[in-house]
């Protein structure tokens, strides 16, 4: 249960980090909060030759509030994002979701960018990014590029990150008038990975639901965005989704959980 041997570098700038990743190629991994990577090393599920520790890159943890968006630096710890007034004001869905992310000591260390870059299909933050229409800003040796969340999550632990690239920050459009947000998940124990979960953003006009962005997670190889103007439409959209099951939690059970979450969260938003 000890990490396999690796070599370790601690760059002091994004440029240096990208140069290290470019130089060491697929043998290297970015070490951010380490709350998923270190277990994988200790369990010997991964054995990269080089770890590029980005924890000392100045400014990478910043949360910045703009008129039209909230920018969350890749290295912002879950606990900091949860405590951020700017996030509470401008991206309240994140504040609702983060108490469900693991446990306090893990939130003290785990990072926003790390969770998105890992793209665990049962993780909360990728679903929030999808529901909110976030943009991920990726940085590589060739410079910066911007990828919408919808195009970023490609499959099981699979993202649009190219070799040598890392997530540098995430931009969330600021919560707009008329929009309401809801989050709920079902897990065996609070803080565990969800069996099914829903991150929802919905626009109401005169008390009536006009459009909803419903990011379902824990049910497929990646978070799935359903767009609907009402519950019936959302449930019909869910019917078309290929839901993954296991022996313990079969497809039918997960689909049922997801239906219940859609009903519950939309009903709650309507009353909000």
Binding region for other proteins (CB under 8 A): 1-11, 16, 19-20, 23-24, 34-35, 38-39, 42-43, 50-53, 55, 77, 79, 99, 102-106, 108-109, 189-191
218 close to 185: Cβ distance less than 8 angstroms: yes
Could you please report the per-residue DSSP string of the chain?
--PPP-EEE--SSHHHHHHHHHHHGGGEEEESS-TTHHHHHHTTS---SEEEE-TT-TTTT-EEE-SSEEEEETT-BHHHHHH-HHHHHH-HHHHHHGGGSS-HHHHHH-BHHHHHHHT-TT-HHHHHHHHHT-EEEEEETTEEEEEEHHHHEEETTEESPPTT-EEEEEEEEPP-TTEEEEEEEE-SSTTSPPSEEEEEEEEEETTEEEEEEEEEESSSSS-EEEEESSHHHHHHHHHTS-----SSS-HHHHHHHHHHHHHHHHHHHHH-
Select 139 or 180, whichever has its Cβ closest to other proteins.
139
Select 1 or 176, whichever has its Cβ closest to other proteins.
1
Tell me how far, at minimum, the Cβ of 117 lies from other proteins, in Å.
17
Select 34 or 230, whichever has its Cβ closest to other proteins.
34
Select 43 or 156, whichever has its Cβ closest to other proteins.
43
Tell me how far, at minimum, the Cβ of 142 lies from other proteins, in Å.
16
Tell me how far, at minimum, the Cβ of 111 lies from other proteins, in Å.
12
CA distance linking residue 255 with residue 19, whole number of Å: 44
Select 89 or 190, whichever has its Cβ closest to other proteins.
190
Tell me how far, at minimum, the Cβ of 24 lies from other proteins, in Å.
7
Tell me how far, at minimum, the Cβ of 4 lies from other proteins, in Å.
7
Pairing of strands 7-9, 50-53: parallel
Tell me how far, at minimum, the Cβ of 55 lies from other proteins, in Å.
6
Taking CA atoms, 165 is separated from 79, 156, 198, in Å, by 25, 18, 29
Select 79 or 244, whichever has its Cβ closest to other proteins.
79
CA distance linking residue 272 with residue 265, whole number of Å: 10
Tell me how far, at minimum, the Cβ of 133 lies from other proteins, in Å.
30
Select 79 or 231, whichever has its Cβ closest to other proteins.
79
């Amino acid at each position: 249960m000890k990490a396999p041997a690796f070599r370790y570098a601690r760059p002091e700038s994004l440029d240096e980090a990208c140069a290290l990743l470019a130089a060491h190629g697929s043998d290297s991994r970015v070490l951010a909060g380490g709350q998923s990577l270190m277990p994988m090393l200790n369990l010997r599920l991964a054995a990269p030759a080089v770890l590029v520790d980005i924890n000392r890159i100045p400014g990478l943890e910043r949360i910045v509030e703009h008129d039209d968006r909230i920018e969350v630096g890749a290295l912002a710890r879950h606990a900091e994002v949860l405590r951020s007034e700017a996030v509470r004001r401008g991206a309240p869905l994140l504040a609702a979701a983060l108490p469900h992310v693991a446990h306090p000591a893990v939130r003290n260390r785990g990072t926003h960018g790390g969770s998105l870059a890992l793209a665990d299909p049962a993780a909360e933050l990728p679903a929030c990014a999808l529901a909110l229409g976030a943009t991920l800003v990726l940085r590589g040796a060739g410079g910066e590029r911007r990828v919408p969340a919808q195009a970023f999550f490609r499959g099981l632990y699979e993202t649009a990150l190219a070799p040598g690239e890392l997530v540098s920050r995430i931009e969330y459009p600021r919560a707009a008038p008329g929009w309401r947000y809801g989050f709920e998940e079902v897990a065996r124990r609070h803080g565990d990975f969800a069996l099914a979960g829903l991150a929802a953003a919905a626009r109401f006009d005169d008390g009536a639901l006009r459009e909803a962005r419903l990011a379902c997670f824990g049910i497929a190889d990646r978070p799935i965005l359903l767009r609907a103007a009402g519950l019936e439409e959302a449930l019909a959209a869910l019917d078309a989704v290929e839901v993954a099951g296991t022996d313990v939690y079969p497809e039918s059970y997960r689909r049922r959980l997801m239906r219940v979450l859609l009903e519950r969260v939309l009903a709650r938003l309507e009353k909000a």
